[in-house]
């Protein structure tokens, strides 16, 4: 498979550039298919944004595709309005109930786009102190939200018809991202926060960017990232680059062993949305992102898990990865079985209970093990080489 973008993918980047620059997009080349462009745009949740460019073309898609595209555009506007209205309600009641919070990622990033509805957002993420989780749960239920998940890992999840997904975080990363959690800590221990109201806070510009970039790396090395995140990074740096404390950012990234990757990734974003000349690794990153889609894909996930095992021998990588699934750490087991916090010596018994549940009810874990076994040496070596060239070890 070629690592170069095909004509449809290249045209998508061209259309996105025209939207970000508020310019007239070029007409569709002969070797580009509107059907394929629309399909890829859906895969990356940017179809609503691309419509702003498509609507300016003299030669538009056929009526059927154009109608579907226009529906995505209107749904994007509706989604944006509903999310803004609901977030305002949530923050107002948090303020009245003295709940310290930070709204994460999406809503701040929306401000950087020409129009806020262009930046599709699947859910709203809010960081709170863990001590307020129960209080917040009652509030969310009073606001008409159904509890989808509570007390598991780092976030509680709530849903309200028709489209409102809200994730209430008590930490920024899951427990196995120890390096990242030690850098950011929990909300009550965070420094450099900027007060918006008595109880609502923002990160400093530098910490906002660091969280955004580290969160990007986390997904990049898990199942992959989509085009939208590339735009987020590009637009944030374009807006804030001259006012950021780069000594602080570079030192922080150096400690997290991400500085080299940041420099390469930052250059890559400019090959898409400015006129920086692209290198071979820029082309590879671009293809990796196009293949990943909004939330990544299974093949990326399996290869990246074996890459993360840090073993030279593929058999050892597979054994190590599968072992971590069958026998998770005590910390991870305590999430599913809280009794282990008080009685950790019962861990072997709960490994057996967990194994039976996997066999009887969680077949996807067995599929995961099967997928790991199917990975071949050549594919894994290519993935290791790819990540190594971008500074990810």
What pLDDT, in 10s, does the model give residues 130-147? Answer: 999 999 999 999 999 999
Residues in a beta bridge with 200: 101
What pLDDT, in 10s, does the model give residues 170-206? Answer: 999 988 888 998 898 888 888 889 899 999 999 999 9
Number of Cβ within 10 Å of residue 249's Cβ equals: 18
pLDDT value of position 2: 55
Report the number of secondary-structure helices (H) and strands (E) in the chain: 18, 7
Q: What is the mean pLDDT of residues 113-131?
A: 96
pLDDT value of position 255: 95
Rg (CA), the chain: 22
Residues in a beta bridge with 292: none
What pLDDT, in 10s, does the model give residues 283-329? Answer: 999 999 999 998 898 889 989 988 888 877 888 888 888 888 778 88
Q: Which long-range contacts (CB under 8 A, 24 or more apart) does 381-384 make?
A: 383/303, 383/304, 383/306, 383/307, 384/307
> What would the two tokens of residue 181 be?
């959690």
Share of the chain above pLDDT 70, in %: 98
Q: What is the mean pLDDT of residues 119-136?
A: 95
Q: Which of residues 354 and 45 earns the better pLDDT score? A: 45
User: pTM here?
Assistant: 0.91
pLDDT above 50: residue 1: no
- Whole-angstrom Cα distance, residue 261 to residue 390? 5
Q: Strands 124-128 and 101-104, how do they pair?
A: antiparallel
CB-based contact 40:291 (threshold 8 Å): no
pLDDT value of position 174: 87
Residues in a beta bridge with 126: 103, 168
Residues in a beta bridge with 218: none
The contacts of residue 70 (CB under 8 Å, 6+ apart) are 51, 55
Mean residue pLDDT across the chain: 92
CB-based contact 223:300 (threshold 8 Å): yes
Q: Is 363 exposed, middle or buried (0-12, 13-18, 19+ CB in 10 A)?
A: exposed
What pLDDT, in 10s, does the model give residues 212-233? Answer: 999 999 999 999 999 999 999 9
Tell me the DSSP string of 69-92.
HHHHHHHHHHHHHHHHHHHHHHHH
pLDDT value of position 308: 86
pLDDT above 70: residue 47: yes
Which backbone phi and psi does 253 adopt, to 5 degrees? -65, -35
pLDDT above 60: residue 211: yes
The contacts of residue 141 (CB under 8 Å, 6+ apart) are 147
Residues in the chain: 393
CB-based contact 50:15 (threshold 8 Å): yes
User: Domain residues of the chain, as ranges?
Assistant: 318-384
């Amino acid at each position: 498979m070629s690592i170069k973008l095909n004509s449809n993918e290249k045209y998508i980047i061209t259309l996105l550039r025209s939207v970000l620059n508020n310019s007239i997009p070029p007409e569709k080349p002969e070797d580009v298919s509107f059907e394929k462009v629309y399909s890829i745009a859906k895969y990356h949740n940017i179809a609503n944004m691309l419509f702003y460019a498509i609507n300016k073309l003299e030669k538009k898609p056929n009526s059927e595709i154009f109608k579907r595209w226009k529906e995505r555009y209107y749904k994007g506007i509706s989604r944006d309005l509903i999310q803004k209205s609901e977030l305002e309600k949530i923050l107002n009641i948090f303020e009245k109930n003295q709940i310290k919070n930070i709204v994460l990622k999406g809503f701040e990033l929306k401000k950087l786009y020409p129009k806020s509805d262009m930046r599709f957002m699947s859910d709203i993420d809010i960081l709170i102190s863990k001590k307020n989780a129960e209080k917040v749960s009652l509030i969310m239920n009073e606001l008409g939200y159904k509890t989808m998940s509570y007390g598991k890992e780092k976030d509680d999840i709530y849903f309200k018809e028709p489209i409102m997904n809200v994730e209430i975080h008590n930490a920024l990363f899951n427990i196995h991202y120890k390096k990242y959690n030690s850098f950011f800590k929990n909300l009550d221990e965070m420094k450099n926060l900027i007060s918006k109201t008595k109880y609502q806070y923002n990160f400093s510009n530098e910490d906002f960017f660091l969280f955004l970039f580290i969160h990007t790396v986390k997904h990049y090395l898990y199942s992959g990232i989509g085009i939208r995140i590339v735009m987020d990074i590009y637009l944030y740096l374009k807006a804030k680059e001259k006012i950021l404390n780069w000594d602080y950012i570079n030192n922080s990234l150096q400690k997290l062993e991400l500085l080299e990757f940041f420099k390469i990734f930052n250059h890559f974003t400019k090959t898409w949305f400015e006129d920086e000349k692209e290198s071979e690794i820029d082309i590879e990153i671009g293809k990796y992102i196009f293949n990943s889609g909004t939330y990544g894909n299974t093949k990326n996930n399996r290869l990246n898990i074996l890459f993360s095992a840090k073993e030279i021998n593929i058999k050892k990588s597979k054994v190590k990865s599968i072992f971590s699934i069958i026998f998770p750490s005590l910390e991870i087991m305590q999430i599913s079985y809280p009794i282990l916090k008080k009685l950790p010596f019962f861990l072997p018994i709960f490994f057996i209970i967990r194994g039976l549940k996997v066999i009887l009810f969680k077949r996807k874990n067995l599929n995961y093990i099967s997928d790991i076994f199917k990975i071949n040496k050549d594919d894994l070596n290519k993935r290791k080489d790819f990540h190594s060239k971008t500074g990810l070890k």
